[in-house]
Amino acid sequence: PKKGKKQILRIIRELVDIDTTHSGTDLEKALRYFNNVSKKRSTAFLISDFIDEGYQDAMKIISRKHDLVALQVYDKGEATLPNLGLIRTRDQETGEIVTLDTSSKSIREKYAKAFEDRSKTLINTFSQIKGDLVRMSTEEDYIKALLQFFKKRVS
């Protein structure tokens, strides 16, 4: 971790060039890696949709030493499943193709509840560790959300 314009440009370059050919998200592994390589206290930004499990303990450990800021990026389609009838969808984590009957109210309700449960878990985790969480939809202006966050942090 370093400060300055060069560092910001390096981070952006790393994000653009990231290899996403592997399947599956492992937030716990990423958090453990960060904890092992970052010896000095720092501010860490974790950008994710947080559609994963088992990362909460690793976040608690990091928050004891570092200033952890989570940026949850989510899409409206992750929160509510539209009534489109039968659809084929691919699980981005496993690659599995599943056919869903989105005309079923119970399936749409289960889908919405799963998103709500994940969101509550994330919010509760950050409340416990006293970390900062910025939730932003892909339909919203992320710059506005980040500016609000930084303004709130200054005051």
Q: Count Cβ atoms within 10 A of the Cβ of residue 62 and give its class: 0-12 exposed, 13-18 middle, 19 or more buried.
A: buried
* Per-residue model confidence as pLDDT tens digits over 56-91: 899 999 999 999 999 999 998 888 999 999 999 887
* Per-residue model confidence as pLDDT tens digits over 95-120: 789 898 999 999 999 999 999 998 99
* Per-residue model confidence as pLDDT tens digits over 46-65: 999 888 888 889 999 999 99
Q: Is the pTM of this model over 0.85?
A: no
Q: Sign of dihedral through CA atoms 107, 113, 115, 121?
A: negative
How far, in Å, are 18, 39, 44, 45, 101 from residue 12 at the CA level?
A: 10, 22, 15, 13, 40
Pair type for strands 67-74 and 132-137 = parallel
pLDDT confidence band for 23 (50 / 70 / 90): low
